Copies of this chain bind each other. A is one copy, B any other.
Amino acid sequence: MIQDAAGTGDKRDAILRAALELISERGFHNTPVSLIASVSGVSAGIIYHYFDSKDELIQALYGEVKLDMMRSITLGYSTDLPYRERFDLFWNNSIRHVLSHPEQAKFLEQFENSSFVEPTLPNAVMVEVNRIIEFYTDGVADGVLRDLPVPVLLSLSTGVAASLLKQHVAGALVLDEDLSAVAVDACWDAISA
């Protein structure tokens, strides 16, 4: 997905792209394979050449989308930066990625809230996830962040961002740069020591 401009994989890619668009909009159970096929310009049969089943198609899509999002979030991250700057980087990357890829956000939310068996995340994803976790554990160890369990710190930061983005998408607020800036300040107050 995303890459592979032409040649083999073109079709597989078109299928994944159409699936992402459709499922994020209509939901998994409301997106027949035949619709994915027609939107991506292929026959229904060929989908089973690239994926074993509709379910496997979703799983594959999840893996690709998750990786894409995690890499966006940690883009430019370095332990050389001060904590506050690293926090801002995560925050801004997240906001930017979701605003420019709302289908990905909707899809991931659906998938992770559904009764799908969440596959073990591939290493490539875990690498990024670990950088984020490391940020919080190091921050606590260095006395920069409050001594709270990492999941709580995540709720106080990522959880807020997610909530803001949801409201933005729903139209309850407009998440512009200014609003984002005050929100990130408030979050930092919540997590910093």
Contacts and interface: CB of A to CB of B under 8 A. Distances in A.
A10 to B, nearest CB: 21
Contacts of A173: 149, 151-152
A25 B163 CA distance: 23
How many copies of this chain does the complex contain?
4
Nearest to A163: B159
Binding site of A, secondary structure by majority: helix, strand, loop or mixed? Answer: helix
Interface string A4-24: 000000000000000000000
Interface stretch (A55-63, A136-144, A178-186): A178-186
A191 interface: yes
A117 interface: no
A86 interface: no
